[in-house]
Structure 1
Amino acid sequence: MCDEHTEADNAAFLKGALSRRAFGAATAAAGAMIVLPRAANAMAVKGRDVTIKTAAGTCDAYFVAPASGKHPAVLVWPDIFGLRPAFRQMADRLAESGYAVLTVNPFYRSLTAPALAASGDRDAIFGKAAEARKLLTPEAVIVDATSFIAFIDKQPEVDRKRGIGTTGYCMGGPLVMQTCAAVPGRVRAGGTFHGGGLAADPFLALVPKMQASFLIAVAQNDDAKAPGDKDKVRAALAAANRPAEIEVYPAQHGWCPPDSPVYDQAQAEKAWGRLLALLGKALA
């Protein structure tokens, strides 16, 4: 999971493993978001800022869907840096492929997404988010997951006859697992990208409750630190007869969001393609 050690690890990777030219390009990504490519058959989409009432308060979020028709939905849990332009762009791109997408501010109990973004530099944002994350107890995530999916099901753009998918990045990985267990009757697909802590007992214990298929994309440095984690997750999902694609990608923790300093376009595109394959099959 993304923590101060991961940030230091990525900084060392950028300085030591890349050429000077590549290092400059990679660090520039932290200040200037990469524009993601559009699919050749991209649909026209409409997005809007929304608020969602939960038992814990009001969550600010971004909802986007194709401009016409009803579509299967996807709930997105961002990484520790929260709901921001990079994740709005990713949501738009997913909607262009035919999905109604809700991307939430997981820290709404403490601060809004704009307030987090205005906290200062990357280190300052990380610090505030790390404090806010402490409120995401297992009980809190159940409240959030059920509230967010209830909101999704009320949107006219959503086809309720089809299942819901959920994706999570970094700290969002465990939230995906918890969501799949909290609303198993609706969630049919779960995708985690450089997610941390998935092999912890609290999450493995939830697997028998799940009815989803999974894509679990693991960062190479996360795998190096805990090489047995992927095997524990694979075994738990297999025991519950849950289909799963689990792969270690030759990329650093945080390689998927286009504003990440370790964004890896080739590996991010591979992960994106595998996500579309999962959603296309599981939500058909």
Structure 2
Amino acid sequence: MSPSDSVASWLQLEPRRPGQVPLRCWWARPAVSAPRGGVLVLPEVFGINGWIRSVTQRLAEAGYAALAVPLYARTAPELELGYGPGDLALGRSHKERTSTDQLLADVALAADWLQPQLPAPAAGLGCVGFCFGGHVALLAATLPAVAVTVDFYGAGVASGRPGGGPASLELVPLIGGTLLCVCGDGDPLIPPADVAAIATALSAANDARVLAAVPALPHGLVLLEGGHGFMCSARADHRPEAAEQGWSLLLNSFEQVLGAPGGLGRA
């Protein structure tokens, strides 16, 4: 598909349950054909900026209905930043004001809205997140609606969780679908000890699934050559080759679970 084969626009989602707030999302989907799956896109600390919108557009061009979800809906619902030092400081200041319960409530609202937009039967939703959004993607993977998640360089999952509490990695056993974590081998925000902790958590969850005969694809961890933010073409540490490898891993994960073009996906 090409950009002319997809459409995109801002979309306001209204709360459906207690604890939810309005969400200003970016919505991209195929213009003519029915989407072959739905994907939640969780942004970096910089909000739903031009690069995140380009990711949703690229997913739409690949045949998916993609919804970018704001992570600061309570403190900065329309945040859209660049990648300078001041932008980073502002984005991190809002990140420190989030909580796991609120983030999961917001992603659940987006998932509840997205599911009816898809042709039935659907194998569940995909989820992809970058940076802080990658951390939140691991949390979102515990939602029943999410069947496959790709977490790009989600820092901090081995040391805590938004709003405080034990490491988010402790929630991996609650993930019903498939989780793929993709990190840069030189990422200063995900040191070797954290990479080892992620590998251990995913391996233990896979072993438990085998013992319980759970029919799900195994979780995985992939290291690519690069630092933090290598997927993002707007960042100084962008690595084009690693970004293309990451994009291939993303599409392959979604196709395995949500289905290839013309397929219905895996249950």
Give the aligned residue type for 1:202: A
Residue aligned with 1:206, SS: helix
1:268-283 matches, cutoff 5 A? 268-283=243-258
Q: Which residue in 1 is equivalent to 2:131? A: 170
| Greater relative contact order (Cα < 8 A, sep 6+) | 1
Q: Which of 58, 63, 70 is residue 22 of structure 2 equivalent to? A: 58
CA distance in 2, matches of 1:224, 1:205: 19
Residue aligned with 1:109, SS: coil
Q: Which of 32, 49, 52 is residue 10 of structure 2 equivalent to? A: 49
Residue aligned with 1:240, SS: helix
Identity within the alignment, %: 24
Q: Which residue in 2 is equivalent to 1:245? A: 220
Deviations 1:182-236 (A, max 9, x none): x13x211111112201223431221111112122111223368621222222222
TM-score, with normalisation over the residues of structure 2?
0.81
Q: Which of 66, 72, 77 is residue 101 of structure 1 equivalent to? A: 66
Give the aligned residue type for 1:163: G
Contact 1:217 1:246 in 2 (8 A): yes
Q: Which residue in 2 is equivalent to 1:17? A: none
CA distance in 2, matches of 1:51, 1:133: 21
Q: Which residue in 2 is equivalent to 1:203? A: 168
**What is the CA-CA distance between 1:48 and the residue it aligns to?**
1.6
CA gap of 1:160–1:64, structure 2 versus 1, over 3 A, is farther
1:80-229 matches, cutoff 5 A? 80-113=45-78, 115-117=79-81, 122-155=84-117, 157=118, 159=120, 161-181=122-142, 183-184=143-144, 186-200=145-159, 201-222=166-187, 226-229=191-194
CA distance in 1, matches of 2:45, 2:237: 15
Q: Which residue in 2 is equivalent to 1:16? A: none
**What is the CA-CA distance between 1:263 and the residue it aligns to?**
1.1
Q: Which residue in 1 is equivalent to 2:229? A: 254
CA distance in 2, matches of 1:108, 1:74: 19
After the TM superposition, which segments of 4 or more aligned residues of structure 1 sit over 6 Å from their partners? none
CA distance in 1, matches of 2:83, 2:256: 40
Contact 1:63 1:103 in 2 (8 A): yes
CA gap of 1:140–1:191, structure 2 versus 1, over 3 A, is same
Q: In proportion to residue count, which structure has more helix?
A: 1
Q: Which runs of 5+ in 2 are unaligned?
A: 160-165, 207-216, 259-264
Number of residue pairs matched by the alignment: 239
CA gap of 1:130–1:277, structure 2 versus 1, over 3 A, is same
Give the aligned residue type for 1:58: P
Q: Which runs of 5+ in 1 are unaligned?
A: 1-38
Deviations 1:152-209 (A, max 9, x none): 1233x4555221111111111210111111x13x211111112201223431221111
Contact 2:138 2:179 in 1 (8 A): no
